[in-house]
């Protein structure tokens, strides 16, 4: 491949990309960066440009080809330029400039979702991205981040989603009261996940009610859900602790809850095997 086209950290493209590390600039431009081959591969339909080192372009020729076939400009860059655009300690040589992809909450409601993950008061971007990944894996129909939650396009959230951000509808910045009232109006049962819940997840499964259209509301990593949010739910459900662990972290609890609903909503068989990474 020819010599890198982007070699200066003072290039307007590089400066514009680096500014996207700040939420205010992401919101103004409605653009964000996706780092690494997995994220860029999954982002094809949302890409504006791709920046890649010559070595990474050869290593991930399929991604470059897919971008070019989609009419997306691909610019080669030096390792220094890619490092300047990246938030990771060890960049993987490829960065995608992406358009915002969140959808109006009303559009999600109109689709009559059967399984939704609602992130209320979730402040850690890594947790937000991981819950989104869990929701994707469990076959959820949508994810909603309330106005009290972290920015969906935070670089850590994008990386933690491992490409799942590009797989399912996401709404952002919706007040939790509006989320709950809208989903209830769409015939969805609202379950608040909380370690102090008065309902037990196993008991809910035994009751046979988990097969209904369901939205799980997940709270803050440290202090869970505030009482006013818990009061909005149809039930507050805890994941049972059968061993001696003090509690589960947010992402693990979310995975358990979402898979419990997914299993209840599906007939036996037909699921893909699980892989780990």
| Per-residue model confidence as pLDDT tens digits over 5-32 | 889 999 999 999 999 999 999 999 999 9
- pLDDT in the model for residue 270: 42
Do residues 135 and 213 both lie within one domain? yes
The whole-number average pLDDT for the span 134-145 is 97
CATH number of the domain that residue 19 is part of: 3.30.1330.30
Count the domains in the chain: 2
In a domain, 152, yes or no: yes
The answer to whether residue 3 scores a pLDDT higher than 80 is no
The whole-number average pLDDT for the span 88-109 is 96
Dist CA 86 CA 82 (whole Å): 6
Domain termination site, one of 57, 73, 99: 99
Strand partners, 238: 200
In a domain, 271, yes or no: no
* 146-174 residue pLDDT tens: 999 999 999 999 999 999 999 999 999 99
Do residues 92 and 113 both lie within one domain? no
94 within 8 A of 40, measured Cβ to Cβ = yes
CATH number of the domain that residue 166 is part of: 3.40.1280.10
Question: Which has more confidence, 122 or 274?
Answer: 122
The secondary element (H helix, E strand) that includes residue 56 is: helix 54-59
Strand partners, 222: none
Share of the chain above pLDDT 70, in %: 95
Alpha carbon dihedral 274, 95, 153, 113, in 10-degree steps, equals -40
* 230-265 residue pLDDT tens: 999 999 999 999 999 988 999 999 999 999 999 999
Domain termination site, one of 99, 133, 151: 99
Do residues 93 and 112 both lie within one domain? no
* 201-235 residue pLDDT tens: 999 999 888 999 999 999 988 888 999 999 999 99
The pLDDT-based confidence of 273 (bands split at 50, 70, 90) is very low
- pLDDT in the model for residue 266: 87
- pLDDT in the model for residue 196: 87
Do residues 118 and 226 both lie within one domain? yes
In a domain, 23, yes or no: yes
In a domain, 86, yes or no: yes
- pLDDT in the model for residue 49: 97
Dist CA 217 CA 200 (whole Å): 15
The answer to whether residue 140 scores a pLDDT higher than 50 is yes
* 56-73 residue pLDDT tens: 999 999 999 999 999 999
In a domain, 6, yes or no: no
Beta-strand relationship, 94-99 and 115-119: unpaired
The whole-number average pLDDT for the span 49-55 is 96
Q: What is the CA radius of gyration of the chain?
A: 20
Domain termination site, one of 41, 65, 99: 99
CB count in 10 Å sphere of residue 153:
23
User: Which two tokens mark 243?
Assistant: 């061993």
Do residues 83 and 151 both lie within one domain? no
Do residues 246 and 109 both lie within one domain? yes
In a domain, 39, yes or no: yes
Do residues 229 and 163 both lie within one domain? yes
The pLDDT-based confidence of 2 (bands split at 50, 70, 90) is low
Do residues 34 and 159 both lie within one domain? no
Do residues 122 and 77 both lie within one domain? no
The pLDDT-based confidence of 275 (bands split at 50, 70, 90) is low
- The whole domain housing 25 covers 12-99
- pLDDT in the model for residue 199: 93
Do residues 237 and 217 both lie within one domain? yes
């Amino acid at each position: 491949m020819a010599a890198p086209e982007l070699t200066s950290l003072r290039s307007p493209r590089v400066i514009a990309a680096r500014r996207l590390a700040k939420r205010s600039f992401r919101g103004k431009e409605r653009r964000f960066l996706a780092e690494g081959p997995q994220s860029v591969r999954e982002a094809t339909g949302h890409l504006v440009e791709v920046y890649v080192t010559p070595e990474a372009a050869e290593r991930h020729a399929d991604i470059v080809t897919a971008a070019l076939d989609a009419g997306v400009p691909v610019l080669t860059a030096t390792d220094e330029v890619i490092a300047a655009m990246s938030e990771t300690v060890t960049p993987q040589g490829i960065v995608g400039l992406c358009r915002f992809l969140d959808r109006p909450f009303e559009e999600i409601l109109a689709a009559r979702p059967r399984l939704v993950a609602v992130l209320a008061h979730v402040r850690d971007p890594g947790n937000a991205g991981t819950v989104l990944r869990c929701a994707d894996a469990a076959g959820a129909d949508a994810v909603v981040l309330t106005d009290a939650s972290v920015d969906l396009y935070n670089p850590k959230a994008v990386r933690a989603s491992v490409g799942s951000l590009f797989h399912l509808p996401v709404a952002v910045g919706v007040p939790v009261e509006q989320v709950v009232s809208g989903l209830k109006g769409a015939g969805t049962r609202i379950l608040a996940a909380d370690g102090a819940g008065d309902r037990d997840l196993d008991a809910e499964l035994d009751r046979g009610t988990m097969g209904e259209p369901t939205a799980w509301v997940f709270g803050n990593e440290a202090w869970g859900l505030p009482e006013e949010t818990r009061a909005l739910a149809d039930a507050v459900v805890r994941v049972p602790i059968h061993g001696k662990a003090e509690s589960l972290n947010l992402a693990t609890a979310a995975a358990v809850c979402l898979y419990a609903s997914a299993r209840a909503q599906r007939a036996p068989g037909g699921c893909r095997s699980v892989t780990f990474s």
